[in-house]
A = this chain, B = another copy of it.
Amino acid sequence: MNRNGIVSVFALGGLHEVGKNMYAIECGEDIVVIDCGNKFPDESLLGIDLIIPDIFYLIENKDRVRALIVTHGHEDHIGGIPYFLKKINVPVYATRFTLGLIEIKLKEHRFLRESELHEIHSESEIQIGDMSISFFKVNHSIPDCLGIVFSTPEGNIVHTGDFKFDLTPANNERSDLHRMAEIGNRGVLLLLSESTNAERKGFTPSEQMVGDNLESIFMKCKQKVIVSTFASNVSRIQQVIHASKKTRRKLALLGRSMVNVVGVAMERGYLDVPKGMLIDARDIHDLPPEMVTILCTGSQGEAMAALSRLSTGNFRGVDIYPEDTVILAAGPIPGNEKNVSTIVDNLYKLGAHVIYGSGSSSGMHVSGHGYQEDLKLMITLMKPKYFVPIHGEYRMLYHHQLLAESVGVEPGNTFILKNGDVVDIQNSVARSTRTVPVGSTYVDGIDVGNMEFVLRDRKQIAEDGMLMIILPMSRENAKMLAEPEIISRGFVDNNFSELRKRMIRIIQETVDELHAADRYSWNVKKKQVKRLISQYIKERTKKEPMIVPILIEI
């Protein structure tokens, strides 16, 4: 394809899903990648640890990939970076805080020294081929977030990153309205804007609300206060620190990612912790309980995280006592509701006061993603000719499209894309007619790949178990030399011994019949045994265990 004068935009992750965000801009021969996130598997993906974007297209065009630019440090934007860089080791551009989190990740993968990391800020400019790339500050639930402006020969393309407009944020990091207005005035050809909360009416509440509520709860508590939130929500953590200071409490951190992220945030100046406030978790017993705050991971009900272990009395050295107060300062992400409920239940059983709720209903959480009015404000400021809603399930993209039209984007100028769908821009006209190949890549332990077969096997065995049928065959004449052996795992039958007898008869008859019919092939026998046993088991037990016939030649 002659790419002369063509600018293309597509996603390799993040569309029709929440998570594993990855977008790419191609300008002539140059490809710039935006974000490289992961997402967590649902229960149907048995044994899978992570899902990351499928970068087949980028690997095929490796020589043209010039840079990875990262909008912010959430897992769904950085979680795939080590896997990506190991395949395509291009320079990475991100802000100071985001780089701190990326470095932790690369260290864990032992790939930090091999990586080329560049610190940028909202005033930076990068020139790549015909593109000049600049940035603007946005507010979100993690420090140091950027939106990106790609100035191309065809016009300006804007990627918002994740954002909301919080006019009273806890960290003084406002979305830069003035800069956005300027960008809009200079002209935006195409806006890519995030859609996570496109179904929610109104403006996102301000982080200030949480601060006020935390403070009044802290005032009332007569014992320990335990707050669980996302480690990356430094603003929220800052407010816990404020409330602790006001009520003369010391602060202990529990959970690896809490310690890691607070470390990065303090070291790089994103968190203001009064001297002497931080204490080691082992030292909380030296203080009266009304002088202790604990900040911990696990607000999503993760089984191995600090809050879950606290709730079952399994955190070494730290116990929750009656009249302690536990605040879940984070709403459950869809899919985590049940695990969170179990933890709340266990905390009540320990006698704790528990403050929890979905969304912002408890007053202890506000979303970091803009609601409908925030989204309309962004589109209004940018005044784009073309609009591509990004980050979200189809229904979110759909509602975002309606919002765009309501503030003046021409019907027909919005593209609801799937991962891999390409928007090509030439002579300032955008069209979406082609795709690049894309799927999902699974991570299972240290292995990375497609794993379709393996998952199919796991599912069948998980559902109904497995029967191994060992067929001892004669090396000379393909007759059975002894009774077949049947071994089961994960298979239930209340009357297995009778079932076994019957199976052995079926196997023997099958082998004898085939033999009598001069069909000596072991493979034919194996297949036939598998078919007839599956059929018999299904009729008799209504189950479909995996049947594995194993031929042993003797």
Q: Are A393 and B458 in contact (CB under 8 A)?
A: no
A546: nearest chain-B partner, CB-CB = B489
Alpha-carbon distance between A472 and B472 when the two chains are bound, in angstroms: 10
A276 contacts B by Cβ under 8 Å: no
A548 contacts across to B, CB distance below 8 A: 468, 487, 489
Alpha-carbon distance between A394 and B311 when the two chains are bound, in angstroms: 13
Q: Are A491 and B454 in contact (CB under 8 A)?
A: yes
CB contact between A461 and one of B458, B493, B541 (< 8 Å): that residue: B458
Q: A446-B542, A543-B444, A543-B445 are in contact. Are A46 and B491 (CB under 8 A)?
A: no
A444 contacts across to B, CB distance below 8 A: 492, 543
Q: Are B446 and A541 in contact (CB under 8 A)?
A: yes
Q: A492-B449, A543-B445 are in contact. Are A348 and B398 (CB under 8 A)?
A: yes
Q: A462-B47, A548-B487 are in contact. Are A42 and B494 (CB under 8 A)?
A: no
Stretch at the interface among A31-39, A54-62, A166-174, A337-345: A337-345
CB distance from A194 to the nearest CB of B (A): 17
Q: Are B494 and A447 in contact (CB under 8 A)?
A: yes
* Chain A contact residue count (CB 8 A cutoff): 58
CB distance from A394 to the nearest CB of B (A): 5
Q: Are A461 and B449 in contact (CB under 8 A)?
A: no
Binary flags per residue of A523-550, CB closer than 8 Å to B gives 1, else 0: 0000000000000000001110010101
Q: Are A47 and B465 in contact (CB under 8 A)?
A: yes
A182 contacts B by Cβ under 8 Å: no
CB distance from A165 to the nearest CB of B (A): 24
CB contact between A334 and one of B43, B337, B466 (< 8 Å): that residue: B337
Binary flags per residue of A441-470, CB closer than 8 Å to B gives 1, else 0: 000111111010011011101111110101
Alpha-carbon distance between A114 and B171 when the two chains are bound, in angstroms: 71
CB distance from A235 to the nearest CB of B (A): 27
Alpha-carbon distance between A348 and B472 when the two chains are bound, in angstroms: 56
CB contact between A463 and one of B47, B335, B446, B451 (< 8 Å): that residue: B47
A552 contacts B by Cβ under 8 Å: yes
Binary flags per residue of A344-384, CB closer than 8 Å to B gives 1, else 0: 11101100001000100000000000000000000000000
CB contact between A470 and one of B465, B490, B493, B550 (< 8 Å): that residue: B550
A395 contacts B by Cβ under 8 Å: yes
Q: Are B345 and A393 in contact (CB under 8 A)?
A: yes
Q: Are B47 and A457 in contact (CB under 8 A)?
A: no
Alpha-carbon distance between A448 and B491 when the two chains are bound, in angstroms: 13
A442: nearest chain-B partner, CB-CB = B492
A487 contacts across to B, CB distance below 8 A: 548, 550
CB contact between A492 and one of B354, B447, B472, B490 (< 8 Å): that residue: B447
A1 contacts B by Cβ under 8 Å: no
CB contact between A42 and one of B334, B338, B470 (< 8 Å): that residue: B338
Q: A468-B548, A470-B552 are in contact. Are A490 and B393 (CB under 8 A)?
A: no
27 inter-chain pairs at a CB distance below 8 angstroms, sorted by A residue, are A16-B345, A47-B464, A47-B465, A334-B337, A334-B341, A337-B337, A344-B395, A345-B394, A345-B395, A346-B394, A358-B358, A444-B492, A444-B543, A445-B492, A446-B541, A447-B541, A454-B491, A455-B490, A457-B489, A458-B461, A461-B489, A461-B490, A468-B468, A468-B548, A470-B470, A485-B552, A552-B552
